Amino acid sequence: MAYTPDRSQYPQKKADGSLDIDLTSGKYLKLWQGPQHPGITGNMSIELTVCGDEVAEGRTHVGYLHRGFEKLMERRTFIQNFPIVCRICVPEPDFNEYCYAAAVEELAGIEVPERADWIRALILEMGRINSYLMYLGGQAGALGQAVIGQWSTYVRDLMLDRFEELTGARIYHMFIMPGGVRDNLPTGFRTRMEHTLGEIENALRDIHNVMFRNAVFEKRTRGIGVIEKEWLDSYGVTGPCIRAAGVPRDVRKDQPYLVYDQLDFDPVIGKDSDIYTRADVRRRDLLLSVDLIRQILSRMPQDDGPTMATTPNVLHWKIEPGETYVRGECSRGEYGYYLVTDGSGYPRRVNVRGPSYTHAMALFERMVVNCNIADVAALLVSLHTYPPEIER
């Protein structure tokens, strides 16, 4: 059958372990994907050194979206930081809002109303659905199947409508504030949400038929882009990427936050750790989120009550010295905020730990070696990275 040479010897290494790549030999070609490149996930770039169709070395270049959030947050008060954190990750901004709010609440000792916890969980799951839908479109698109992106973006847009009526904005919701959430569910929200969830399930059924039960798609993704077991820890792999490798690691289950200990679910896991499995894990995780939203809507307090705890006057809010780390399971993996306070009205230091940070940098650079250049885009998408959370 097909000729499958052992590629582990390539590219050749020098005695000191560095890659033996001589650009002047004419054997290698430097190839930049991005930042202006449709195959790149957002505004970043990868510098590939290819030999024929095979990648000998890949380097991720980020910083195109760097705004210096961690610096900016040091000169904004605790409340002023709440609108800016969501900008750190565009497709799934809510985790920033939640992690930041939770870190602040923990250090300031604020007890959030239970209702707010439910609404927060609802928003996070809605955001997760959006993020996954975008991923599915991107994954199929990276392989040339445009129609999936059309369908998934359509249903994502329906979900954005739900976001809009709940939070007052489509993309940057700015709804989860330190202290709670801004408001209760609007009237009739549950019905409309149920309708949207139905649409999403329909779309997913189609996507399953057209994308996952697809000979060409399988051909392109099965066995490609495998994350080896020993890389999982050394490269800080989290989220669907680690679950696709068969490790049932899900912060929602391991260290339950918000109301996840009151919901019934099991982490979705896969087996093969290749692109296909990761896509499949995400698809099933999406369905899990649909189910979780139903659970949340049926179990949360049905009446309207306060959704915000009383905070000090936000204009002069000071927090005692302390440090903490708050994490959540976002669609891409572990999302966390490390917050240090020093008793002043401003954070001393905020560090955002986005899953893309490890995935797109060290892990991707490791995985791209020996990869066919036609697979690079698909591989990058399958790690589901969002550049803004790498560089902040």
Instruction: Please give the residues from 88 up to 147 whose contact with other proteins meets the rule CB under 8 A.
Output: 90-91, 106, 134, 137, 140-147
R_g over Cα of the chain: 22
User: Which residues make Cβ contacts (< 8 Å) with residue 297, sequence separation at least 6?
Assistant: 122, 190, 193, 194
Q: Which stretch binds other proteins (CB under 8 A): 121-129, 148-156, 258-266, 288-296?
A: 148-156
| Complex with other proteins: residue 71 or 271, whichever CB lies closer | 71
CA 174 from centre of chain = 18
Residue of the chain from 11, 49, 55, 87 that contacts other proteins (CB under 8 A): 87
Whether the Cβ atoms of residue 281 and residue 155 lie closer than 8 Å to each other: no
Whether the Cβ atoms of residue 56 and residue 40 lie closer than 8 Å to each other: no
From the CB of residue 122, how many other CB atoms can be counted at a distance below 10 Å? 24
- How many residues bind other proteins (CB under 8 A)? The answer is 131
CB of residue 379 to other proteins, shortest distance in Å? 11
Which residues 212-271 are close enough to bind other proteins by CB under 8 A?
Answer: 213-220, 233-236, 238, 247, 249, 254-255
| Complex with other proteins: residue 298 or 314, whichever CB lies closer | 314
Residue of the chain from 55, 160, 197, 241 that contacts other proteins (CB under 8 A): 160
Which residues 298-327 are close enough to bind other proteins by CB under 8 A?
Answer: 306-308, 310-316, 322-325, 327
CB of residue 20 to other proteins, shortest distance in Å? 16
Which residues 18-57 are close enough to bind other proteins by CB under 8 A?
Answer: 24, 29-31, 33, 35-39, 42-43, 53
Residue 192 CB-density burial (10 A; 0-12 exposed, 13-18 middle, 19+ buried): middle
| Complex with other proteins: residue 254 or 298, whichever CB lies closer | 254
β-bridge partners, 349: 340
Rounded CA-CA distance 267/269 in Å is: 6
Whether the Cβ atoms of residue 353 and residue 329 lie closer than 8 Å to each other: no
Question: Helix crossing, 373-382 with 275-299: angle to 10°?
Answer: 20
CB of residue 296 to other proteins, shortest distance in Å? 20
Q: HSE on the CB side for 61, CA within 13 Å?
A: 11
Which residues 316-375 are close enough to bind other proteins by CB under 8 A?
Answer: 316, 322-325, 327, 334, 336, 338, 340, 348-349, 351, 353, 357-358, 361-363, 366, 372-375
